[in-house]
Chain A
């Protein structure tokens, strides 16, 4: 099954109005040696006898603009004179009036890849989203920063630089970004949810976990993310610090790139036996016990045990180098093979020290004869290369959920078009079908069943190796009041702080702040403060609560969702938030030909993860 990206130039139902007011079109002409008005008229107007029109037009122009000549005698023109040659009436430039309905553009008879069928404006504060089939995770998706609403004016004004100048409606306004150093945000006093308690937020980049902890102890930062497990004891013992533990909802995994070829041009990992051997070869229990003391649990599915759809009934791949060797021999690699293990350059909650986990995996693989060379790149390059399928056989990555739904994990990893896993080529197509089906299934029990089965199928096909679900550990000084970490993205408007400026240390810099086109967590942490989405998650739970949308209803057939927008909300640049803004924001992602599709990579990966594709994309049977 392959998805072909089909873009139709004609926007079928887009309302395009052609202005019918005729505008006279004219050309300037400068007289050169040998010209006569008859000759000019013959050349430009197609008829030498129409020369009087040039005289009239030029004299008319001369009345207001003296750079044009005044022709007294049509038989006498001089070299260098500027004439106005009325070349005729032309069609006026097309004026595109804001569409009331923006619809998908797939040809008749084709199946759309993107579940979204149309977006329409009912009135200034009411928007309808219509889907081809019931879209189960919609509310949660609309609560993520990946579908946040930007100021249309700012997007148009900044163009490609919008990713450095984000303008939203959020509780904090963007002030300044010093790359690899800090991002400064200031409170938005007019925030619709009430002004934040903390006046200024400064996000500092401190790469080393030890350095983050030292700065917190020294009092130069107030809050730090991602403490490594080995430092927890010392941090907890410090009476001036508070330690927070996030429930383990993330997943750290080693992916298998099925399209990777070894030096003989063989797609080694295409063979399910090889992938099963990998699962038997890696001693996940030992790795988690040693490197995640008290913070991690061995992963069996790609979703955490606390989430519905988790499949605990599948038999785990036990650690058995012998079995791995047998499987490799059956697959035709009795002496193993050479591959690359890509190791993330940045620390994340699921991999607080990726190199160390990588080395442990490398050692386990060496035992069964697999020679995995460790490869790393800077973070942006790493994400881009793995996204485009230009990586080695094995790659370490992980996932922090954006909303608590198996769709957010599984469809993202194994959904269509992914080159990271070569997921279009997933050996068992039924995985793919179930993920699609579950996206559009209205019945919660049936959805759970589908994910339960999908987990078992992924397990059977041994796609990659899920390694760990880890608790992230944060710490702050005593000035932060009653804080509890959010399992998605913290929003500081929810908390109080004893002081005006709170300095937060994170391990990496944001990639870009037009966050709808990012996949990087650091960017979303900033985006969550600057932007609002139609909904938001609660401070300590993952239910979707009203934000820019005050309420919603679903049509009888379950296909059309009507959202009533909050009135009186203004973007940080003073422009109004309304239905037009929502339509503009969604359409500029949905429509691959949208003139304001700035973003960063223009990949808008989250949109296709959420909805399956873009406007006009069809599924080719």
Chain B
């Protein structure tokens, strides 16, 4: 009786400061200039991706061969590519693809990774041992190399690239979730939940899982940046988005012969990749600092 009351009061005490904890976190985030920069970049990126057809001045796949390799001008702010397509429009539409790649592959990885990590951590014992050793094996491969192997097996293409990047990102999330589960599963309130007869699935998803959200958000934000970078790498090699899709990495790859003669063709897609990845990294770092004050130095 006694212990249950204490738990209840624990929870009620928490409910109050919880919202202020969130407000705290946001306040810390907005005070962090780098994080704000990241947020602005990400916001721009998101808006660009969503409203691409409205913003883009030209059709991203419309070729005008006679005008190929024209440098930036008033009509074409970033110039034209090797086939006379407007680079600005291609970058704008490319944001859509990158967003798609980032969100889908990381979403995929989080869902699968979280389930694996949570089950493994909660079950413990030999299940945990086997699953985590499998994850260790996957982590032992350089991510891009593993993704390359997967795409080679599945065949080139946007969807296959999404699967590949998703699959190689699974272990990171599985480990994060497992670590959180391990740290909370012996807590008193879990014992309490068990004591009142809550089924393991309820305990896992209602009581344990929310504790893993903070690290998942941080890792997910950073992960989107990495996923975009990996996708650009695969597309550069011709294994990702297929022509004529305006994928940033593919634009770099196809423009590489022009690096000395018409550098604008590779410069701007490269900058787009760099800025976006930078944005996600800055925001991810900022989120980690503000959501998890214990990590602050």
Contacts and interface: CB of A to CB of B under 8 A. Distances in A.
Contacts of B258: 230
B257 A363 contact: no
Given A289-B66, A374-B243, A353 B257 contact: yes
B37 interface: no
Interface string A56-81: 00000000000000000000000000
A291 B256 contact: no
B244 A290 contact: no
Interface string B82-98: 11100000000000000
A210 B256 contact: yes
Contact of B259 (A210, A283, A360): A210
A287 B65 contact: yes
Contact of A360 (B63, B69, B238, B261): B63
A286 B243 contact: no
A234 B258 CA distance: 12
A358 interface: yes
Interface residues of B, number: 23
A290 B68 contact: yes
Contacts of A290: 65-66, 68, 83-84
Contacts of B66: 286, 289-290
A290 B68 CA distance: 7
B212 interface: no
B261 A230 contact: yes
B12 to A, nearest CB: 61
B80 to A, nearest CB: 11
B28 to A, nearest CB: 48
A356 interface: yes
Contacts of B65: 283, 286-287, 289-291, 360
B256 A208 contact: yes
Nearest to B66: A290
B260 interface: yes
A287 B83 CA distance: 9
Contacts of B68: 290-291
B243 A355 contact: yes
Contacts of B260: 210, 231, 234
Contact of B242 (A230, A289, A374): A374
A258 B65 CA distance: 30
Interface string B56-86: 0000011101101100000000000011100
Contacts of A289: 65-66
Contacts of B257: 208-210, 228, 230-231, 353
Interface string B224-254: 0000000000000010001110000000001
Contacts of B83: 290, 356, 359-360, 363
A363 B256 contact: no
Given A359-B243, A362-B244, 10 more contacts: A210-B256, A230-B257, A290-B68, A291-B65, A355-B254, A356-B254, A359-B254, A362-B243, A363-B62, A373-B242
Q: When A and B form their complex, which 6 residue pairs have the shortest distance between CB atoms, in order from nearest?
A: A290-B65, A286-B65, A363-B63, A359-B243, A374-B243, A230-B261
